[in-house]
Amino acid sequence: MPGYKHPCRYCDGLIPPESKVCPLCGRVNPLGPLRCARCRAPIEKGWKRCNNCGLSLELTCPSCKKTTFFGDYCEQCGARLVVVCPNPKCKTEQPPLVAKCIKCGKPLI
């Protein structure tokens, strides 16, 4: 028996409760609250810092270079807020918050 469907945070379409990508709009992390990249505490759009660990929630978009709120997508250009490790053996996707890869330690820029 399938569970109740939940609204996607981006398009408000009803989607299965275990969705990692919205099947309607294609965006990632369509369910649940936004979370801090460092401590995983729930955060809200418009906050300047995480209320749990103090991490700045404003960052520069790697695509358009404009300041945006930390989330899954840039508020200015709509690009996904991730950087990919340049190490060919790693290629880990991560938020653009630190200078080194969280998996292999190689510089990201």
- pLDDT of residue 44 exceeding 60: yes
- pLDDT of residue 16 exceeding 50: yes
Residue in 14, 24, 17 with CA at minimum distance from that of residue 1? 17
Per-residue pLDDT at 98: 79
* pTM score, whole prediction: 0.73
Domain count, the chain: 1
Task: Label each residue of 50-101 as H, E or C.
Answer: CCCCCCECEEECCCCCCEEECCCECCCCCCECCEECCCCCCCCEECCCCCEC
86 token code pair:
């340049």
In a domain, 21, yes or no: no
In a domain, 31, yes or no: no
In a domain, 88, yes or no: yes
CA distance 20 to 89: 25
In a domain, 9, yes or no: no
In a domain, 102, yes or no: yes
In a domain, 27, yes or no: no
Provide the residue range defining the domain that includes 65: 47-109
CA distance 14 to 65: 33
Three-state DSSP state, 21: strand
Q: What is the average pLDDT across 89-104?
A: 87
